[in-house]
Amino acid sequence: MAATVFYLDEIPAPGAVAVLDGPEGRHAATVRRIRVGDPITLSDGRGVVARTTVVGAQKDRLELEVLDRAVAEPVSPTVTVVQALPKSERSELAVELMTEAGADLIIPWQASRCVANWETKARKGVEKWRAAARAAARQSRRAYIPLVADLHSTSDVVDVIREVRARKGIAVALHESGGGSLKELPLADAPEILLVVGPEGGLDESELREFTESGAAVTLLGPTVLRTSTAAAVALGALGALTPRW
């Protein structure tokens, strides 16, 4: 059985003892009931991974002997998801699913048809998304925790699309009006991919126009219309099969 993954900002060299405390330590010792002798995989969330064994356990703290340490290769191409804000009850679910499916960067977007509105609580919303991404990364045993950017406006998203295209990446706006599918795009040769996922009400005409004028391809994800909270995860699964990511 694979060892449980927990995150520590700095991982010491092999032979040293790492201390896991704070929220991670409490979760490991109290919720997961990890004890002396149990194996744990530590990661800094930025690619460093270490095999460890628990040598000391308290109610909110673990001491771990580092057995070895390595750097996990990042997947390629990288995938950024611009996610229109879902309804509150599905907001963090969207982050969890796309994290488990392999998103590298998540950008929350206040689209014109979003029911949710973060204008007065953007910092709190972003913090919740970052916590959800961290928890989902632990659950899926990821060496890299996806970054969650600050809240973006539509003009900010247009700038991101232009930047991706300038770096020879591919930008895709997922929409039912799309004339093609993901498999028709040259995804395998792209250094990076940007997915734009609209809100439950869909992208409006002005957003579609701005995105296409900036270089995004409007693409149909599949034969059915998906919820905004699940669309990114489904698209990431398709990209895994259509690119070297898997």
Higher pLDDT, 86 or 177: 86
Residues with Cβ within 8 Å of 116's Cβ and at least 6 positions away in sequence, in order, are: 85, 86, 87, 88, 91
Higher pLDDT, 50 or 31: 50
Q: Report the share of the chain in percent with pLDDT over 90.
A: 80
> In this structure, which topology does domain 5-71 adopt according to CATH?
Ribosomal Protein L25; Chain P (2.40.240)
Nearest by Cα to 133 from 49, 232, 67: 232
- pLDDT tier at 158, thresholds 50, 70, 90: very high
- pLDDT tier at 119, thresholds 50, 70, 90: confident
Per-residue model confidence (pLDDT) at position 193? 98
Q: Domain limits of the chain? A: 5-71, 78-242
Q: What mean pLDDT comes out for the span 25-37? A: 89
Per-residue model confidence (pLDDT) at position 63? 95
Q: What is the 3 state secondary structure string of 65-119?
A: EEEEEEECCCCCCEEEEEEECCCHHHHHHHHHHHHHCCCCEEEEECCCCCCCCCC
**Multiple choice CATH, 78-242, 3.40.1280.10, 3.40.50.10800, 3.20.20.70, 3.30.1240.10:** 3.40.1280.10
Measured torsion, CA atoms of residues 234, 238, 244, 246, in degrees rounded to the nearest 10: 60
- pLDDT tier at 117, thresholds 50, 70, 90: very high
Per-residue model confidence (pLDDT) at position 2? 53
